[in-house]
Structure 1
Amino acid sequence: MAMSLPIHGGDLAAAERRWGKPEHNWLDLSTGLNPWPYALPHLPAESWRRLPGEAEETALRASAAGAYGCAVDQVLAGPGSSALIQAVARSVSPRRVAVVSPTYGEHVAAWKAAGHAVSEVAIPADAAGADVVVLVNPNNPDGRQFTVAEIQALSERFALVVVDEAFADVAPDLSVASHVGAGHVGSGLMVLRSFGKFYGLAGLRLGFCLAAPELLAAVAAQLGPWPVSGPALAIGAAALSDRVWADASRAHLANAAGRLDAVLTKAGLHGLGGTSLFRLVEHPDAGNLYDRLGRAGILVRAFALRPTWLRFGLPGGEAPLRRLEQALT
């Protein structure tokens, strides 16, 4: 790839150091966030002034349980799914861990940092001998999908199966959240959910771990008291209870992803997959294209280990889409 290491998603300061300040504002397509975020509700002043209370925590857990289809005592809220990835890895005694790859790099990093023996496998069938299997569904960055039946079968074979459903809000039929703690099948099943991606509020730092209560207790011990702020509790509870907004957003995002596909295809980029929050494409000169977009003030996601890949998040409207189209062509 004709460039130095790719910039991490969302790091606009690093982008300016590399390419300079753009003539127009940055068009950040590097993160896979909903560019049409949930409208912030009115927050009581007390949510800013005092420590979060049990009532607010319970309200958020109830909203999450309703949205994800599990029981309230199977929900643990944390300060973002990245923090939960690390907490889960620290909550388990040293094991042999297989991470289905290529995928979000923080999984391998977190389990290694916690002292586990980690291997990367292309398919779950290659995880023989592991105690823990970690997979992302739908996968980041290629959108690969695993069915509910496939994940249930894995939970019967391995002591613990961790499923990162950070992008499952746009594909709810893939979720195994309703199966956590369901008897023998699912007792070793743990699901991670991201709030900020689908709701477009990544700065809120809110995520969820869904599992049987005995598994959640060990993760909660790693997070400590008051892991989620009062404002995040209130906003999360309101958003997760708003099913009308969620349904409308899924349809809107699917339409926007289709329009992005048309622009990428017209520019000669070969689609490899993705979700309705991001698209992965391949191009033999991806490194130079990444650099050209950066000079135009458009940041996309590149991959050091896959130098022909680029990932595009959704432009937030007609004008950003046309700006991307012009820069590509």
Structure 2
Amino acid sequence: MDQADSLRHHGDVDAEPGLLDFAVNVQGSGPPAWLRDRLVATLDGLGRYPAAAHDARARHGVAERHGRRPEEVLVLAGSAEGFALLPALQPRLAAVVHPGFTEPEAALRDAGVPVVRVLTSEADGHRLRPDEVPAAADLVVVGNPTNPTGVLHPAADVRALAAPGRVLVVDEAFADAVPGEPETLARDADVPGLLVFRSLTKTWALAGLRAGYALGAPDLLARLAAPRPPWPVSTPALEAVIACSSPAAVEESRLAADALALARAEQAERLAAIPGVTVLPGQAPYLLLRLPDGHGAPVRAALRDAGIAVRRGDTFPGLGPDHVRVAVRPALQVARLVAALADALTAVAA
């Protein structure tokens, strides 16, 4: 797999139909009933173009949710659209913190933007070190919590990446899955050059709908949005943003995050009990595992033969073939993973 293919590899490629899916970090197979009803109610209006008033309602709802002004919100067709738009900012040098979500780097490289990788180290828990980012970088991208390590960086360390003349992009796609969202910068309207990307895909199981948003200064959002076509966000996606920004939905996601944290801790304990499996520290709705040297590829193949999909780690810069990422799943599914993983490791070792 060459560099370009590696950057474009995502968990949905690993999760073929019929496999028990630990590769994709979406919670559940679809949105809750109340949200589904809201989306279905938009279908009768699909003969009309998405309305500016609908977009305004979505921006207002997001603004209320994060203590921002509506003009500081840009509704996106998923946060991945925001990454695809980054070249519109015309950076001279982009720095991308890795291991991390690879789509920002892929989009920048496709547009001919020079990219430098800033690698965190497993030896110190993949801690973010702002002083390692080149001063010449006028665009910096970091995830918080980072995918795939699950590390939640202190907000102060992330803010330290901001600098005059620099755009700081913080990917908070999984922030609402961490109880209390303790290190979010979503409310930080005073940080110069800050863009925060949020996704509704994971918590609300809306991967097929494509819904998210960006938070930032109005002039910065205008630059980001300049190349967009007319009506870039569908009517159902706008409705999803409105619905998921309501106080009731935010409370539901808070309770879900609490439950997810408990499930994550239990899953980490069960996986760590398997001889040869190292569970790396993290706080996201997925876990990064390190397997014994040389075991990664054959173990992943054995798991696939057992009907289980996990996310390969070697397509993330800074990780190797013996890293795998697994989503947090219900206890019965975890039991199946634990048994299959233990069997696979035993078979490969033999």
Instruction: Give the TM bin, normalised by the shorter chain.
Output: 0.7 to 0.9
Alignment of 1:58 onto 2:56: yes
**Separation in 2, partners of 1:132, 1:59:** 30
**Per-residue displacement from partner, 1:276-312 (whole Å, max 9, x unpaired)?**
4100011112222111111111110112251110100
Given candidates 263, 283, 287, the residue that maps to 1:275 is: 283
Q: 1:36: how far off? A: 6.7
**Per-residue displacement from partner, 1:12-35 (whole Å, max 9, x unpaired)?**
67x47xxxxxxxx32111111112
Q: Is the 8 A contact 2:105 2:115 kept in 1?
A: yes
Q: Is the 8 A contact 1:137 1:168 kept in 2?
A: yes
Structure 1 vs Structure 2: percent identity of aligned residues? 33
Q: Is the 8 A contact 1:130 1:158 kept in 2?
A: no
Supply the AA of the counterpart residue of 1:237: I
**Per-residue displacement from partner, 1:87-118 (whole Å, max 9, x unpaired)?**
1x221124111111121111211112222211
The structure-2 alpha-carbon separation of the partners of 1:274 and 1:49, relative to structure 1 and needing over 3 Å to count, comes to: farther
Q: Which secondary structure state, in structure 2, belongs to the residue aligned with residue 120 of structure 1?
A: strand
Given candidates 196, 206, 214, the residue that maps to 1:209 is: 214
**Per-residue displacement from partner, 1:100-144 (whole Å, max 9, x unpaired)?**
112111121111222221100134312222222111111111122
Aligned twin of 1:98: 95
Q: Is the 8 A contact 2:272 2:279 kept in 1?
A: yes
Aligned twin of 1:49: 47
**Separation in 1, partners of 2:260, 2:29:** 9
Q: Is the 8 A contact 2:19 2:304 kept in 1?
A: no
Aligned twin of 1:110: 107
Supply the AA of the counterpart residue of 2:77: P
Q: Which secondary structure state, in structure 2, belongs to the residue aligned with residue 204 of structure 1?
A: coil
Alignment of 1:328 onto 2:341: yes
Q: How many residues of Structure 1 are paired with residues of Structure 2 in the alignment? A: 310
Q: 1:226: how far off? A: 1.0
The structure-2 alpha-carbon separation of the partners of 1:321 and 1:162, relative to structure 1 and needing over 3 Å to count, comes to: same
Q: Is the 8 A contact 1:160 1:188 kept in 2?
A: yes
Aligned twin of 1:311: 325
Given candidates 175, 182, 189, the residue that maps to 1:173 is: 182
Q: 1:7: how far off? A: 6.6
**Per-residue displacement from partner, 1:209-258 (whole Å, max 9, x unpaired)?**
11100011122222222111111111221122112211111111112212
Q: 1:151: how far off? A: 2.5
Aligned twin of 2:312: 302
Matches within 5 A, 1:284-299: 284=292, 285-299=295-309
User: Quick check: 228-237 or 47-56, which moved more?
Assistant: 47-56
Aligned twin of 2:345: none
Normalised TM-score (structure 2)? 0.82
Q: Which secondary structure state, in structure 1, belongs to the residue aligned with residue 152 of structure 2?
A: coil
Q: Is the 8 A contact 2:76 2:211 kept in 1?
A: yes
Matches within 5 A, 1:147-296: 147-156=154-163, 159-171=166-178, 172-180=181-189, 182=190, 186-241=191-246, 242-268=249-275, 269-284=277-292, 285-296=295-306
Unaligned residue ranges in structure 2 (runs of 5+): 1-5, 120-128, 343-350
Q: 1:158: how far off? A: 5.3
Q: Which secondary structure state, in structure 1, belongs to the residue aligned with residue 137 of structure 2?
A: coil
Aligned twin of 2:125: none
Q: 1:201: how far off? A: 1.4
Supply the AA of the counterpart residue of 1:308: D
Cα RMSD after superposing both structures = 2.1
**Separation in 1, partners of 2:169, 2:14:** 31
Supply the AA of the counterpart residue of 1:119: V
Q: Is the 8 A contact 2:155 2:185 kept in 1?
A: yes
**Separation in 1, partners of 2:103, 2:187:** 25
Given candidates 11, 15, 31, the residue that maps to 1:9 is: 11
